[in-house]
Amino acid sequence: MDIKGKVTVFKNEKNGKEWYTISDGSKNIDNEWTNKSWIARFKGEVPEHKSKIEISGFTTYWKKDNIVNVTIQVLEWKYLDTQTKVFLEDESIPF
């Protein structure tokens, strides 16, 4: 299945192993959030932790202990945040 949309990406680590998840959510009529996360694999460069991105990809499936799991294979992505990061050295701060 083809996937396109806006998500947040999270970098996870356990016992030296890294993996990524993507998450999206929506508010219901009572202003309560519902979220869903998926394991994600990225082709090429990987976005920064907690970045908001727009993705294009497809689903893949794998089975473990008779449970079917879904992974999102991300083929293309771009950052939604357009802020520029600026780094100043202490000497350049006027106060």
The bridge status of strand 33-42 relative to strand 67-79 is parallel
First to last CA, the chain: 55
Output phi, psi for 91, to 5 deg. Answer: -65, -25
Q: Is the per-residue pLDDT at 85 higher than 60? A: no
Confidence tier at 82 by pLDDT (50, 70, 90): low
Residues 18 and 12: their CA atoms lie apart, in Å, by 6
List domains and CATH numbers for the chain.
2-92 (2.40.50)
Give 3-state DSSP helix, strand, coil % of the chain, rounded to 5: 5, 65, 35
Confidence tier at 94 by pLDDT (50, 70, 90): low
pLDDT at 5: 94
pLDDT tens profile 34-81: 999 999 999 999 999 999 999 999 999 999 999 999 999 999 999 996
pLDDT at 40: 97
